[in-house]
Amino acid sequence: MAYELFRRFSLFAELDDAELASVAAVAKPRRFARDEVVIREDERGDVFCLIKQGRVKISMTSPEGKEIILSTLGPGEFFGEMSLLDDEPRSASVIATEKLEVLTIWQSDFLELLRENFGITRRLLAEMSKRLRDASSRIESLATMDVYGRLARYLLELAASQGREAPDGYVAVTRPTHQAIANTIGTSRETVSRLIHELMEQGLLLSEGKTIYMRREALRKFREAS
Ligand code: CMP
């Protein structure tokens, strides 16, 4: 596989051509359809995955069968490292939310790359630190905020991670379903629909097809509420 492809992953940013070629030599492409399960919670882990194209959600299922979305990841990001590092079962399920292309690396090759290249190891640990910070922030918001505050923080983070500048000072994001938002912030779909409807009535959000436009003033209000 062409090693230039691997330059787009920040995990490999410090590698020279020869090192990138050695990563490319052990990576295999795999494709998944939308809604296909890539990794199942509690199974044994054997591969590490880099997202070439598409998005996934990382989720757990409660004993009552309710889905809890921990995170979503897109192109250039990775998943499946935890069980390869601690030899425990998969910590969560990973499901394609769009057509997905990943590059997979076997556990033994993945561990060898980490052993040989401190640049990769350091960046992997930095990303895992970021995910722990995000999880801490989520615990804090679940313990201390009402649903409006949690929705405000969710929309702010969505704007920061995926927002695009739009005309008239709006920030545009691709609209997740109300169910996906509810499963991320720990509430019901009906509550999310009601709150988003209220924000639209106040002119803070506009919805058009698959896009939500957030007014700058909305982002300021969300910052105050979260
Ligand atoms: P692993 O446990 O092997 O399989 C599931 C993967 O989901 C896990 O590795 C991580 O890559 C990812 N994952 C688990 N929990 C989180 C989280 N809280 N935030 C982001 N990614 C996660």
Say what the pTM is.
Answer: 0.91
pLDDT score, position 141:
92
d(CA 61, ligand 1 centre) in Å: 14
Residue spans of the domains in the chain: they are 3-142, 146-225
Give all strands (DSSP E) within the chain, no chain letters.
27-32, 37-39, 47-53, 56-61, 67-73, 78-79, 93-96, 100-106, 164-165, 170-174, 205-208, 211-215
Distance in angstroms (rounded) separating the CA atoms of residues 92 and 81: 11
Q: What is the mean pLDDT of residues 168-187?
A: 94
Closest listed residue to residue 104, CA positions, set 40, 32, 15: 32
Q: Please tell me which residue, 13 or 27, carries the higher pLDDT value.
A: 27
Residue 121 near ligand 1, beta carbon < 6 Å: no
Closest listed residue to residue 226, CA positions, set 151, 143, 133: 151
Instruction: Return the CATH architecture of domain 146-225.
Output: Orthogonal Bundle (1.10)
DSSP state for residue 86 in the 8-state scheme: H
The rounded mean pLDDT for the chain is 95
d(CA 199, ligand 1 centre) in Å: 32
Q: What is the mean pLDDT of residues 93-108?
A: 98
What are the C-alpha distances in Å from 78 to residues 6, 42, 141, 181?
Answer: 12, 19, 25, 22
CATH fold for domain 3-142: Jelly Rolls (2.60.120)
Residue 79 near ligand 1, beta carbon < 6 Å: yes
Residue 1: band (very low, low, confident or very high) from pLDDT cuts 50, 70, 90:
confident
Alpha helix positions (H), 87-177: 107-116, 118-144, 147-162
pLDDT at 180 over 80: yes
